[in-house]
Amino acid sequence: MTAPPRRSRSTEAVAFYQATFGAIVLHRVGEGEDIVAQLAIGNAAFWVARAGSAGQRVHPKAVGGATGRTLLVVDDPDAVFGQAVTAGATPTAQPANEHGWRLARITDPSGHHWEIGRPLGAWPPP
C-alpha cells in the first residue's frame, strides 16, 4: 500500500470550498502548502493563503477562534449547512429563523467561521 499523497491545509481548504459551497477556482499560484488560490462563490471572490507571521496572518486553529466571519447568502441554507457538516465542518448554530433571516453557522475544517443564510425579506434592504 502506498500512503495517500499529503495534502496541504490550503489545498484541503480549497477542496472543501469547492465541494461544499460550489466554489470555482479562478486562479491558483504556487505549490503544496504555499499556494495562493482565488476562488469565487457566485459573484463573491475570495482568496485562500497560508498563515504567515510576516503579514500577521494567523491560523484560526492556532489562536482558538477567528477574528471575523463571512456571511454566505444562499437559496437553501439548511441544505448547504448539511453539506458543510457532512464534509467535516463543525456546526455552531443549527438553521433557525433569526432577525429576519434563515441562518445557520459553522466552523469549517480550517477553523474559519461562516454564517450560511437567506434573507426572509428583500435583500439588500431597500
Query: Contact, 76 vs 21, CB < 8 A?
Result: no
Exactly one of 2, 4, 5, 67 binds a second copy (CB under 8 A); that residue is 67
Q: Does the protein bind a second copy through residue 57 (CB under 8 A)?
A: yes
Query: Contact, 37 vs 25, CB < 8 A?
Result: yes
Q: Does the protein bind a second copy through residue 43 (CB under 8 A)?
A: yes
Exactly one of 5, 68, 121, 126 binds a second copy (CB under 8 A); that residue is 68
What does the alpha-carbon distance between residue 102 and residue 78 come to, in Å, rounded to a whole number?
A: 8
Q: Does the protein bind a second copy through residue 126 (CB under 8 A)?
A: no
Q: Residue 126 contacts by C-beta under 8 Å, 6 or more apart in sequence?
A: none
Strand partners, 117: 73, 103
Q: Does the protein bind a second copy through residue 125 (CB under 8 A)?
A: yes
Span from 7-15, 17-25, 55-63, 77-85 in contact with a second copy (CB under 8 A): 55-63
